[in-house]
Each structure stands twice: as C-alpha cells, then as structure tokens.
Chain A
Amino acid sequence: MADAVLDVADRSVTKSAAAHSRKHRGPGRWFILGLVSLGLLATLFPFFLTIINAIKTSAEYASSGPLALPRGIDMVQLQKYWDLSDFGRKLLNSAIISSCVAVFGVILSTLNAYAIGIGKVKGSRAILVILLLGIMVPQESIVYPLYYMTKAVGIYDTQLAVIIAFTVLQSAFGTYLLSSVLGSFPREIIEAADIDGASRWQVLWYVVVPVLRPTLMVIGTFFFIWTWNEFLIPLVLLVSNNNQTVTLAMGLTRGQNLSDPVLQAAASLLGIAPTIIFFLIFQRTLTRGVAVGSVK
C-alpha cells in the first residue's frame, strides 16, 4: 500500500519534471520569442509606416521625415487621393464585381459539383482534370482572345465581361473543391429523398444545399477576395476610369506620378483598408482554409 502511494508520488514527480523541462527552458525561450517578434515587426513595419504617414501633412513629412510619429491626424491627403482617383466609385465597382462573382461562382460550382459528386456522371475525373488545368494555366494565354471576343460581342469595357470571366474561372476551382466534398455526401440521405419522390432539383435545393451551406459560405468568401485582388484580366478588359476596380486603380497609380510621398502613403492606406477589414472579419476562414487556395 505504502509502496503503491510512493510509486504514484514518484511517477508524478517524473511527470512534472518532464512537464517542467518542456515548459521552462530558461532564457532561451525569451530569445526565441524576441526573434519571432522581430520578424513579425519587420513584416508589419510597412503597414505601420503607411498608416503613420498617410495622416501627416506634407509639411510635416518634409520637416520630420517618414519615421517620426504624426503630431495629429490630418485627412487632407487621404481626401485628395480619394477625390483624385474617384475612390468611392472604385470601391463600388470592386464590390459589385466581387459580390456577383462570389454569388454566381458559388451557384455554378454547386451545379457542376452536384452532377460530378452526387450524380457521378461518366467522365467525372476527366472533367475535374480539365477544369484544374484550365485554372492553372496562365491567364496570359486566354487574355487576348477574351479581349477580342468581348469587343466582338460589344461587352468590352463593361463590368459584365469581367463578372462572366471570373464566375467561370473561380467556379472551375469551386467545382473541384465541392465535388470532393459531395463525393462523400451520405448516400442514404439522397436515396431517402428519392424514395419520398423528391425530384433531382428538390434534392439539390432542399437536401444538399442546406447541408453544404457553411462550405458554400467559405468558398464564396474566397471567390470574393480573389476576385477583388485580380489584376490582369481587369487591366485588359476595363479601360475607362468609371469601370475600374480598386486593385486596378492601385496598379495604375505609378503612371499617375504621385510625386507627393504623403499622397502615395494615402493611396496605399486606402488600398490596404478594405483588405484589413476583410481580414478582421474573415481571419479564421482565411488562415484555416488556405490549403484550399493552394492550387491558385
């Protein structure tokens, strides 16, 4: 009896010693923490610089330089870039294009994946391979024909053209993802609905989609952000200022020759702001679901 108690005590000592060695390893751990923190500060430093400089006055920047903290908050340069680039309009354009692509892309992906994952139509695997190759090849090899075709049918320089292009491109990827999700969808549920006399459409709408809703939301979020960040196709298809997206406007600022460094900082801050907002809202979705985006 005493032995047993001793044994337990003994074991708990060794256990806590092991835990101890795992938990506290002297000053080394602070060194590592410092090192990683330094890396993080270096990564975030450009964001910090943008913020502190975008809210300075030009005179303040000229006198104390980019590294000094701002004395107050001055919105003049932000306002100036906002007006100069018609930023509100750009935001609206980006929001319209990205939302439409998110919604239509998810719908199209779901329809395709329903046929492939649940219907297991013949040639499913070949279809998936073609879709994946289609999105992995560089957009350079489709961009000129797209440019020519949109001109031919009269939708060149419209948001519609960009929405159609990205709905298809994003849904190719969504189909790939959703098909594998639906491939393991419990068959009993589908069969039960079949026996109850539900049509294929009813099964999709009342059985599959409700179960899939969280996944569809994640995929829609990704479509939204990816489309927001797209550059080459909007660059080629949208020429007039009124149709351009935030990302495109940012890409063209170099040509605008923003000689004033504070104005440049203001431009970057306005470009960063929507991303930071998405990031705060969707942080978990984004960092967890990233494996999802690895093919892009």
Chain B
Amino acid sequence: MAVADGTYAQHRRGYYLYLVPGAIGFTLIVLIPQIANFFLSFTAWKGVGTPRWIGLQNYQKLLADDQFWGSMIHTLMFIVSMTIIPVAIGVVLASLLFDYIRDQFGERLSNLFRAGFYLPQILPITTAGVLWGWILSPLGVANIVLKAIGLAPLAQNWIGDATWALPSVSLMIVWIQVGYCLVVFMAGLSRIDPSLYEAAQLDGAGWWQRLFSITIPMLAPEIFVVTLTTLIAALKLFAPVFVLTAAGPDNATMVPSYLTYYHFFTTQRVGYGAAIAVVQMILTVGLAVIFLRFQARQQVTE
C-alpha cells in the first residue's frame, strides 16, 4: 500500500509539467507587468532612463487632483448605465419574455426577442462608438428625428456639449448592456419550476406580483453576479469614452482608465498613471474577492 501511495504521489507530480507553459505565460504577461506597475507607481518616470523613487508622492498628488476625483465621480455616474438601468430593464424584460411571451406566443418568438436584444452586446464597442457617434453628431439622426417630430428645441450637440456628453455615452452603454443582463436572467429563469407560476396565477397573482414575489427572489444569484461583474466592468470603462468623446469635452466624461492612458502616453507621467492604475486595481480586486467568495459559497450549497 505504501508503495502504491508512493507511486501515486510520483504520478501526481508528473502533472506539474503540464502547468509549465501556462505558468511561464502568466508570469510574463500578468505577474511581472502587475508587479512592475505597482513599483512604478512609487516613482517619477518619463518612460525612458531610470525611474526615480519618490515614495508616496504620486498618491499624495492624486488626492488633490480634480481630474482624478472627477473621473471617480463619473465612474459612479456610469454605474447607473452599466449596472442599475440594464439590470432593471433586464429583469423586467426577461420576466416578460419568459413568463408571458413564451407562454402566450411560444418559445421561438421569445428566443427571437432574446437574440435581437443581445445583438449589441457582441458588437466591438468601437464599432458601436462609430455608429452612435454618427447618430448623435450635431447633424445626425437623433437631431433630425427630434426635428421631424416637432421637438426641434430639444436638439443638442449631444457628444460635444459638456452637459450632454455623459448621458449620451450612457445611452450607448445601456443599449449594449441590456442584452447581457437579459440573457443571464433568462438562463436563470429556466431553473424555476413553472408550476410555481401556475400556482401563483391560480391564486390570482398578477404579472407584477409574480415579478416581485417569484421572479426577483428566485433570480437573486444571477442579479448578484450580473451586478458585480458589471460594476467591475464599470471601473474599467475605456473604449466607449475613447471612441465617443475622448474624455471630453473639458473632461466631462473623464474616467480612470482614460486618465491612466492619458498619463502613460500623452503627458508621459508614467509613474503617476501607474498610481491611478493601482487604485483601479485595488478597487477591482475588492469587488472580485466578493465575487469569488460568493461563487465558492454557491458551489458549497449546490
């Protein structure tokens, strides 16, 4: 038996070889850059020569940097369009498609709707940006439609005006995000026993009551996962802002990722950019840890 155990341990050791390529890749592409970035955040560096150690100065400057705080506030505002509105629309829509359309008009139609709402989600964000940039330009479709329906005074320079730029980018984000929420929620709903709905219906519960007393409680795990993953995505928001507004006008849509990019490649204040990236990373890891703990708990209860 001891011999068998020995060979088993030996046997097991052989599997480590299969981790070698992955370990080398991960070390080179993720670990070393991550550590390097962390160290750079304590230096002043222009991208050439030797980084000069300045301790916590970058972080001290961050605390007093209006552009940075503005970007954090904008992140909070983008959470509305990344998370809150898409989750709300997603729940209602998933419930309508699952509990109503599928029931009354058949599964094919409900699948068709699901696919249609999902389409913007798989578009490269930059393409979505070109598309929406065209729609929202001063002479674009949005303003032409407003004029056509007699609301000419509401026409705006949507992405060129500091007041409207953030809501305009948000509109595109909602358009992209709804499909993701919808599809995850519909997958979640398929777990629910249909007899639950039938029983509720026989008891005279309307659709609205079923939404609040069955759908939302049963979807709680999915809602949690979608909320957390979209929050993480909101912290990393970059492409929509890059493509539509380039963080402008006048920093009105500045977000941390863009600010990092800006300091890395425009002002060449690499250490400072790295410090912003570290702040972003810490916030993301915080959310990610919550996510992982939740997943671990789910697996235990399953």
Binding site for B on A (CB under 8 A): 18, 21-25, 29, 32-33, 35-36, 39-40, 43-44, 46-47, 49-50, 65-67, 108, 111-112, 114-116, 118-121, 127, 129-134, 136-149, 164-165, 167-169, 171-172, 175, 200, 204, 225, 228-229, 231-232, 235-236, 246-248, 250-251, 253-254, 261, 264-265, 267-268, 271-272, 275, 278-279, 283, 286-288, 290-291, 294-296
Contacts and interface: CB of A to CB of B under 8 A. Distances in A.
Given A35-B96, A247-B127, A296-B229, 9 more contacts: A24-B104, A136-B285, A142-B29, A204-B18, A232-B261, A261-B137, A271-B124, A287-B114, A294-B184
A204 B40 CA distance: 42
B96 to A, nearest CB: 6
B236 A251 contact: no
Interface residues of B, number: 100
A144 B40 contact: yes
Specify the main secondary structure of chain A where it touches its partner. helix
Contact of B285 (A133, A271, A275): A133
B243 interface: yes
A144 B37 contact: yes
Interface string B270-285: 1001101110110011
B50 to A, nearest CB: 13
B131 interface: yes
Contacts of A67: 141, 144-145, 148
Interface centre among A46, A49, A66, A287 (most CB of B within 10 A): A287
B170 to A, nearest CB: 15
Interface centre among B19, B47, B270 (most CB of A within 10 A): B19
B30 A142 contact: yes
A198 to B, nearest CB: 13
A66 B144 contact: yes
21 contacts: A18-B198, A22-B103, A24-B104, A36-B96, A36-B97, A111-B18, A115-B16, A115-B18, A119-B12, A134-B30, A138-B235, A141-B281, A144-B40, A147-B264, A148-B36, A168-B22, A204-B18, A232-B257, A254-B246, A261-B139, A294-B226
Nearest to B141: A66
A189 B211 CA distance: 46
A50 B33 contact: no
B130 A268 contact: yes
Contacts of B2: none
Contacts of A231: 124-126, 238-239, 242
Specify the main secondary structure of chain B where it touches its partner. helix
Contacts of A268: 127, 130-131, 134
Interface in B143-188: 144-145, 148, 175, 178-180, 183-184, 187
Contacts of A168: 22, 25-26, 28-30
Contacts of A25: 104
B5 to A, nearest CB: 15
B113 A108 contact: no
Contacts of A232: 238-239, 257, 261
Interface stretch (B57-65, B78-86, B115-123): B115-123
A202 to B, nearest CB: 13
B15 interface: yes
B144 A65 contact: yes
B49 interface: no
A288 B187 contact: yes
A56 B8 CA distance: 70
A215 to B, nearest CB: 17
Contact of B239 (A50, A133, A251, A283): A251
A101 to B, nearest CB: 12
What are the 7 tightest A-B residue pairs by CB atom distance, in nearest-first order?
A119-B15, A271-B127, A145-B33, A251-B126, A142-B33, A250-B126, A168-B25
